Chain A
Amino acid sequence: MPDPVLQVEDLSISFTTGETTFDVVRDLSVTLDGGRTLAVVGESGSGKTITGRAIMRLLPRGAGARGRIVVAGRDMLAADERELRRARGADVAMVFQDSMSALSPYLDIGAHIAQAVRLHDPSVSRRAARARGVEMLERVGIPEPADAVRRFPHEFSGGMRQRAVIAMALVNRPALLIADEPTTALDVTVQAQILALLRELQQEYGMAMLLISHDFGVVASAADDVLVLYAGREAEYGSLRDVFEAPAHPYTAGLRAATPRLDARLDTGGERTRLRAIPGAPTSLRDAGPGCAFAPRCGLAGQVGERCVVEVPLRSRRTSGTTGGAHRAACHLDRLPSSGEIAR
């Protein structure tokens, strides 16, 4: 078996403001093979985006990462500036949520793609690089690509722009693509197209994809594995089927119950179901108490008692794994009761 494309071990990310340093992400560990998609799910502020950025070492000033991140055999946290530049855009590329702000308003689309090409192979002429851009735009389904390379970001529709951003990210055939909410800013129909395009290109190039999303619908249609983050920590990790069909963490179960489903009536044998919101507001690692960060919002914390408030639950393996892969959750309860009792 070949080495995984992405290996993250005990990744913690901290911010320093003035005198104080605090963690925003703690002890994340995942592995991801080529051709597979790992979805990172969580509410705003749960640390999804910063984790994606840490993998490319694109952290803002004042932020630091500890642990180990290996991308395509390169230790990203140990790499120096030159090595990082070589990895970024070639081994690992990123698709941003907001394609408008991710593109320079002063450059046309062709210049963006040509830049991506030439940064990694200066021997390619500007012309040849732009020609690669045309090819790439055609590959991502942009009509009249020869004309489109000369257009500027503001002259594209949102969906076309996201396609262009994907073309730009994939032009150097990265082993790993980090897609940070790639469809959030788009219409639902365009969302489906973009997801389908990403999956198709992933199969074609055999690349691994880290899909950051807060949308369970997107995750369900694209992911192989799922990592659920809560307040910067892993709440649950496992294959899509395990996590969706047998959630082992009350938070995951709560998110599932809060997701609207078109087939809800069938699911419950024809009964009407209401969407159940998770009570309370998300917290952060910084503000969480000594125990489980989810405890204040957890309907099951009462069943466990004191322990939830004073002791951080460790990740533990679950036996519910139906697909053979690892399935783990950070909850003091070994097994969740049936879905009806979970939400408070």
Chain B
Amino acid sequence: MTAYIARRMVTAVFMLLAIAFVTIALFFGASKDPARAMCGKPCPAETKAKVSAYMQTDQSVVWQYGQFVKGLVAGRTYGEGAQQVECAAPCFGYSFPNRSDVTSLIGERLPVTLSLALGAAVLCLVVGIGLGALSAIRKGGMVDRFSTGFAMFGLSVPTFLVGLLVVQVFGFMLNVLPFSGFVPFSESPVDWAWHLIGPWMVLSFILAASYVRVTRTQLLNELSAEHLVAMTARGASPRQVNRHAVRGVMVPISAMFALDVTALLGGSVIAEKVFSLHGLGDLLLSGVNESDLSIVVGVTLFSAFLIIVGNLVVDLLMPLLDPRIRRA
């Protein structure tokens, strides 16, 4: 088991290094010039060249990549003399527009994304499994018809539209919810939750749709499963049988959930934009807008890392939940 995890982690490191290369190559492939954004409004070629050299973006992609990897291991120094900037190892890059290294930028934004992701994930689980289960139990009933429509809507409507609708309805028309800003949990848990209800609603609505569908299908399968009839035939009570049915639903749901949580933790660009939350998604977006290579690479790597870890967790979790996978 330990060997397996170790092997997966080693693979993950190489995968991340490859992702870093692709990201850097794509960044320059899109003919982005970080120096252009930094050099100011009248930007004579001479100044631009200096800025470029200072930011070390005047070199080839391969050289950039080499510096990036070197920075991870040994740290990186930009410029010299009074303008010298140190980025200690492991250095994921230095953001000149923000005058800060990427690691601390991600660290600053993480609480926002974390709050957003975890709340949305919990809400999505409750709503998705709840609605899905209710519609499976009363198949064809009112709840079922409502939640089928709900799921269809959630799957087909883009996040920004739901986001703007929530802001419009709850923020402006009903004026019951704040529609922007973030209050740290440590400052006031109530305000923290109050400010996040909107974005939680939006994200979980979009996500819950697939949970409704999976829960409903799985539970319907389980409820008509012969092995549950067999269990009743052995003398089990409906409660014992139902508890068993739940297990069959939990297997696919937990796999989905682990992957969705990691995706959420990587930042939600649209929801953060709509609700003016400064999380990782917002950081990534600003990095792209300001041609800030270090931020783009840093946030991409962070998200990729989470997804790799999420997959590993799923792969380790599934055999525990489903013995059929254990010895396959």
Residues of A within 8 A of B (CB): 56, 58, 81, 85-90, 93-94, 96, 98, 101-106, 108, 115-116, 119-120, 152, 154-155, 168
Contacts and interface: CB of A to CB of B under 8 A. Distances in A.
Interface of B: 225-237, 240, 244, 247-248, 321-324, 327
Nearest to B233: A94
A154 B227 CA distance: 13
A72 to B, nearest CB: 14
Given A104-B244, A108-B323, A58 B227 contact: no
Contact of B235 (A90, A98, A101): A90
B235 A152 contact: no
A98 B240 CA distance: 22
A102 B237 contact: no
Nearest to B224: A60
Nearest to B240: A119
A104 B323 CA distance: 11
Residue from B233, B244, B322 with most neighbouring chain A CB atoms (10 Å): B233
Contact of A58 (B232, B248, B324, B327): B232
Contact of A105 (B236, B237, B323): B323
A155 B248 CA distance: 19
A104 B234 contact: no
Contact of A88 (B226, B233, B240, B248): B233
Contact of A168 (B228, B234, B244, B327): B234
A168 B236 CA distance: 14
Given A89-B233, A94-B230, 19 more contacts: A58-B229, A81-B237, A85-B236, A86-B235, A96-B226, A96-B230, A102-B226, A102-B229, A102-B230, A103-B227, A104-B228, A104-B231, A104-B244, A115-B236, A119-B235, A119-B236, A152-B323, A152-B324, A155-B327
Contacts of A168: 234
Contacts of A86: 235
Contacts of A103: 227, 230
B227 A116 contact: no
Contact of A102 (B227, B244, B248, B321): B227
Contacts of B236: 85, 115, 119
A207 to B, nearest CB: 15
Given A58-B229, A101-B226, A106 B234 contact: no
Contact of B233 (A81, A93, A106, A108): A93
A102 B240 CA distance: 16
B323 A98 contact: no
Nearest to B248: A106
B229 A85 contact: no
B324 A116 contact: no
Contact of A120 (B225, B227, B235): B235
Contacts of B244: 104, 106
B324 to A, nearest CB: 5
A89 B235 contact: yes
A120 B236 CA distance: 9
A119 B241 CA distance: 12
B324 A154 contact: yes
B192 to A, nearest CB: 39
A106 B325 CA distance: 10
Given A106-B248, A108-B323, A152-B324, A101 B233 contact: no
B227 A89 contact: no
Chain A to chain B: the 8 pairs with minimum beta-carbon distance, closest first: A89-B235, A89-B234, A101-B226, A119-B235, A102-B230, A88-B235, A104-B227, A94-B233
Contacts of B234: 88-89, 93, 115-116, 119, 168
A321 to B, nearest CB: 35
A102 B322 CA distance: 17
Nearest to B228: A104
B74 to A, nearest CB: 50
A315 to B, nearest CB: 30
7 contacts: A58-B233, A85-B236, A86-B235, A103-B227, A105-B324, A115-B231, A119-B236
A194 B230 CA distance: 19
A87 B234 CA distance: 9
A119 B247 CA distance: 19
A43 to B, nearest CB: 21
B258 to A, nearest CB: 19
B253 to A, nearest CB: 14
Contacts of B240: 119
Nearest to B328: A154
A120 B237 CA distance: 11
B238 to A, nearest CB: 8
Nearest to B236: A119
A236 B217 CA distance: 42
Contacts of A104: 227-228, 231, 244
A85 B233 contact: no
A85 B227 contact: no
B193 to A, nearest CB: 37
Given A89-B234, A119-B234, A101 B227 contact: yes
Nearest to A101: B226
Nearest to B247: A106
Nearest to A87: B235
